[in-house]
Structures are given as structure tokens and as C-alpha cells.
Amino acid sequence: MLEREYHIAALIAKQLQNRITKEELEELAKWTAENNENKDFLDRYADQESVLADLRSFYLQDKQEIWEKVQSGTAQKQVRVKTFRLRPWHWASIAAAAVFIIWISTISPFQNKKNGLPIAAGSVDVAAGGSGATLTLSDGKKIRLLDNKQTELALEDGIKAIKSADGELIYSNEASDDHPTSSHYNILSTGKGQTFGLVLPDGSKVWLNSGSRLEYPVSFKGKQSRVVKLEGEAYFEVAKDKKHPFFVNGSSQQVQVLGTRFNINSYPEEQAVSTTLVEGSIRLLSGQQQRLLLPGEQAINSGSTIKVVKAKIEDVLDWRSGEFFFDNTNFAAAFRKLERWYNVEFIYDSQVSQDMLAGGWISMKNNLSAVLALIERSGQVTFRKEGRKIYVYKQ
């Protein structure tokens, strides 16, 4: 379609490079003589200063920014590829000399049983986590929400909630006038390897990741704001109600919700609290600081500073998709995701480099042995399992 353009460009470049043949020069001269536009165009190349200036701006393009837009644009799609390799240029910005890469490919676990290295004999495999949670009422009574049967729960002050068959606790919507009010608080908490969903009385939805805890009022009626308290990690979809702002309080920050979907990662073992906004807008308040976030941004709150970066949404929300996703994450952070889901502890031998990065994805439904076998295939580490402790060695 653009063959003529490519051909003329090749001739012009050859002339600039002093590589043009006699015949080609004649061809170019003929083209120039065809009409005024052609002549004017070629004349512009006589202004060599502008050619060099153009060349400079040609080089100084923001590759990283554009590539990230492309990646987030293509990542949402269902199409998955067999293996996930990154090209060498991607690592150019990493200064450390000792950077190893752990790949976790998506070859199915069945195939892996043939090739994977065996976990120490005599140990029991660790199953993947699943949905489950504990509901604590304001009087301290605990209700386990484990099985997959739908049950209706009668809580304090006549408030009703339904535990669904698929891992959700749904409070009845208090929009109706005859809905009871209450000043009680409930706590929904998940253990390691558990996740659970929650629908609050205003219709807001919260999904709790493993090892997390949400404290919330059983009824928002009569309250100026809707305030909940989070420890651990949760994804929120907040129902709009401009008259009653929604706040998520944590130990080091408060998030004021101005509109809809975001994820908060505030595990104590992570170095900072990460708040990632998917849609809508939120304001982050921490000590003397506040930041307004835009969709696609992630605020990293170390307690003393708040840094805002472009979010790697897939990496942040992988726990919601049912697949672990590592997007050049520090491998220790990646392993902590595994620790929470499988309820194990990784203990690193001193030889293991701290600079490794992990890339790839794997279904969260796999048993731990399948996951570890895949990681061992990267050739960087090996594992030795003793009960719930996994020792990591340099390979």
C-alpha cells in the first residue's frame, strides 16, 4: 500500500548516506522534477540542521510510557499466550549486575509432573487456598463461613445477611425505609489461603484477600459518613452516594472514596501500603499528606512519604482473577503472594540473590508442588519442603 513512499524514502536515505547508485540518482532526480510538491519536499533535506534535529527528536521518544499503555491495553484481553518471555531491552534500566529472572510458564501441571523436580519425599502436598472467612459479631461471637451452602444469618438488631453458595456475605440493602438500624460493628476476616466477598448494606462490594480483616458498621443509617477499617488487602467497588462519603481507614492512612473501584494492599509484612485506583477517584490521607489519585495510578505509602506511580493493574489484581501474575516483581514480594495463598513460609539461604525478578503467571488452583516445580525449571532456585516451611536454595 505504501510501497511508493518506502521506495522514495530508501532513495533519499541512500543519497544522504552517499551510497546512491547512478541509476538511483537519476530516478530520484526524475521524481523531483515530476511536480512542485516533490521538489519542495526534497529541498527540505538540504536544510541539514533540521534533519539532524529531527533525528534527535526521533530518538528521544518515551518508549517506556507508550509500551506501558500498550501492555495495559492488551493485558485485559482473554487471549493468553503459551509462554511469556521478555526481550533483553526490557532489562536495560536495571543496574544490578546480578539480576536473575525466574520464569513461571503456563505449561499445564500434568505436563510438569514428568519434568519437575520432586519435592522432598515423605512430605504432604499443600493444596491451594479457597473461599472462606470468619464473621465476628459485636458481642465477640464468631461464625465460620466455610461451606458452599447458602444460609441466612440473623445478626444483631434484626439485621439479616445471606451467606451465598459461592463465597459472599451479602447484607440486605438498607435502602428501604423499614430496614432496621443498628450501631453495631461486624468484622469479616480471612485466614491464610482464604478469600471472601462482602456486600455492605449500601450495596458496596468488597473482596478480601488472604490474611485480611475488614471492620464495618452493620448499618450506615444515621451516619454522616460510611467508614470501614481494613487490615491486609481488599478490592473495593463502592456504591455512589455523594451525601455520605466512604472512607477506608488503615493503620497508617485513610482513603476517601470519591467514586468507585480500587485495591488496597496493606499487609504488615509488605514495606508500604499500596493503593491502586482502577476507576473513579480517591483521595489518600496520611499524616500531613494527601494525594488525589487518578484511574490507573498507584500510591505507595511508606508511612513517611507517598509516591504515586503508574499501576501494573494485572500484578495488583491478580488475586481477583484466579491467577498469580508477576510483572517484573521482586521475587520476594512474589513469593509473599504464594505464602499468603498456600499458608507456608519461605526461608532463604544466604546464597540466594535478593535481586531476582519474577515474570509470568500461573493459575491459583495449582497445588504448591506444581508451582514450586515450575519455578525450579527456571534454573535459579531449588526448594526443600519441611511441613509448612519451604527452604530456598540457589541452584
Partner 1 sequence: MKLSHIEEEAHWISLYHSGDESALAYFFDLHYRSLCYFANKMVQDADEAKDIVSGCFIRFWEGEHKAQSVQSIKSFLYISCRNACLNYLKQLGTRTRIQHEYYQNIEEADNSLDYAIIRSEVLQILSLEIDNLPEKCRTVFKLIYFDQKKTDEIAEIIGSNEKSVRYFKAKAIELLKTAMLKKGLSDSLYLSLLLLLNRP
* Shortest reach from residue 379's CB to partner 1, in Å: 19
Q: Does 83 bind partner 1 (CB under 8 A)?
A: yes
Cβ closer to partner 1: 75 or 120?
75
Nearer to partner 1, 16 or 347 (CB): 16
- Residue 18 is a binding residue for partner 1 (CB under 8 A): yes
β-bridge pairing 185-189 and 323-330 = unpaired
Closest distance of CB 16 from partner 1, Å: 6
* # binding residues, partner 1 (CB under 8 A): 50
Is residue 295 close enough to count as binding partner 1 by CB under 8 A? no
Contact status: 10 vs partner 1 (CB under 8 A): yes
Q: Confirm or reject binding of residue 9 to partner 1 (CB under 8 A).
A: yes
Give the CA radius of gyration of the chain: 28
- Smallest Cα–Cα separation from 156: which of 98, 239, 218? 218
Cα torsion at 67, 68, 72, 75 (round to 10°)? 60
Q: Give me 223's grid cell.
A: 451516619
Grid cell in block for residue 152: 441466612
Q: Could you say whether residue 98 binds partner 1 (CB under 8 A)?
A: no
Closer to partner 1 by CB, 11 or 133: give it: 11
Torsion of CA 9, 12, 15, 20, to 10 degrees: 50
Tell me if 201 sits within 8 A of 172, measured CB to CB: yes
What is the smallest separation between the CB atom of 296 and partner 1, expressed in angstroms? 13
In the numeric block, the cell 533519499 is attached to 12
Measured from the CB atom, the residue of 50 and 111 that comes closer to partner 1 is 50
Contact with partner 1 (CB under 8 A): which of 32, 41, 138, 395? 41
Query: Minimum CB separation from partner 1 for residue 363, in Å?
Result: 18
Amino acid 365 reads K
The single-letter code of the amino acid at 306 is I
Of 80 and 149, which has the nearer Cβ to partner 1?
80
262, 260, 202: which is closest to 230 by C-alpha?
262
Q: Which is nearer to partner 1, 47 or 386 (CB)?
A: 47
Distance in Å, CB of 73 to partner 1, minimum:
4
Binding mask 42-81 for partner 1 (x = CB under 8 A): ---x--xx--x-xxxxxxxxxx-xxx-xx--xx--x-x-x
Q: What are phi and psi of 348, to 5 degrees?
A: -95, 130
Residue 22 is a binding residue for partner 1 (CB under 8 A): no
Minimum CB–partner distance for residue 3 and partner 1 (Å)? 8
Q: Please give the helix or strand (H or E) that residue 169 lies within, else none.
A: strand 168-171
Cα separation, 299 vs 310, in Å, equals 9
In 3D space, the residue among 259, 287, 258 whose CA is nearest the CA of residue 273 turns out to be: 287
18 vs 224 by CB, closer to partner 1:
18
Nearer to partner 1, 13 or 117 (CB): 13
Q: Is 101 in the site for partner 1 (CB under 8 A)?
A: no
Do residues 12 and 44 make contact, with C-beta atoms less than 8 angstroms apart?
no
User: Near partner 1 by CB under 8 A, which window of 3-11, 278-286, 327-335, 345-353?
Assistant: 3-11
Alpha-carbon dihedral 270, 273, 278, 282, rounded to 10 degrees: 170
Binding partner 1 (rule: CB under 8 A), the pick from 27, 32, 86, 382 is: 86
Q: Is 46 exposed, middle or buried (0-12, 13-18, 19+ CB in 10 A)?
A: exposed
Helix (H) or strand (E) holding 8, with range, is helix 3-16
Q: What is the contact surface with partner 1 in residues (CB under 8 A)?
A: 1-2, 4-6, 8-10, 12-13, 15-19, 37-38, 41, 45, 48-49, 52, 54-63, 65-67, 69-70, 73-74, 77, 79, 81-87, 89-90
